[in-house]
């Protein structure tokens, strides 16, 4: 069992968190987390996802990585956000 917010749930019912990277229209890379990456990218493209991406639309998904918990996803996001663009590009190219 996995403990989430003082309640127990089975692993099958636990939220699946993802770290994702999206390429913006200006070529920059945005990194975020979500339980529904497809819906989150759609929100970014509506201008409602994040202030950073609102002025850099359209964005397209270039990478996603599944994490077991929200905490792990946040730590991984923090790590990736501190990388240089070249390192991010290498991660994107390394994923099949």
pLDDT of residue 84: 97
CATH number at residue 28: 3.40.1440.10
Does the residue 89 lie in any domain? no
**Section 79-89 average pLDDT:** 97
* Total domains, the chain: 1
Does the residue 26 lie in any domain? yes
**Which residue would you say has higher pLDDT here, 5 or 52?**
52
Answer for the pair 49, 31: CB distance below 8 angstroms, yes or no.
no
Does the residue 1 lie in any domain? no
Does the residue 33 lie in any domain? yes
Is the pLDDT at 4 greater than 60? The verdict is no
pLDDT digit string (tens) for 12-50? 556 799 999 999 999 999 999 999 999 999 999 999 989
From the list 53, 3, 55, the residue with the least C-alpha distance to 29 is 53
Does the residue 31 lie in any domain? yes
pLDDT of residue 15: 78
Does the residue 6 lie in any domain? no
Q: Which domain holds residue 54?
A: 14-84
Is the preceding peptide bond at 58 cis, omega within 30 degrees of 0? yes
Does the residue 37 lie in any domain? yes
Residues in CB range of 94: below 8 A, 6 or more apart = none
Beta-bridge mates of residue 61: 22
pLDDT category, 72, cuts 50, 70, 90? Answer: very high
Is the pLDDT at 11 greater than 80? The verdict is no
């Amino acid at each position: 069992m996995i403990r989430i917010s003082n309640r127990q749930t089975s692993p099958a019912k636990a939220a699946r968190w993802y770290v994702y990277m999206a390429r913006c229209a200006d070529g920059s890379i945005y990194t975020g987390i979500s339980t529904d990456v497809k819906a989150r990218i759609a929100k970014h493209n509506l201008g409602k996802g994040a202030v950073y991406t609102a002025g850099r639309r359209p964005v397209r998904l270039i990478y996603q990585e599944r994490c077991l918990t929200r905490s792990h996803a946040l730590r991984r996001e923090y790590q990736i956000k501190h990388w240089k663009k070249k390192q991010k590009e290498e991660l994107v190219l390394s994923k099949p």
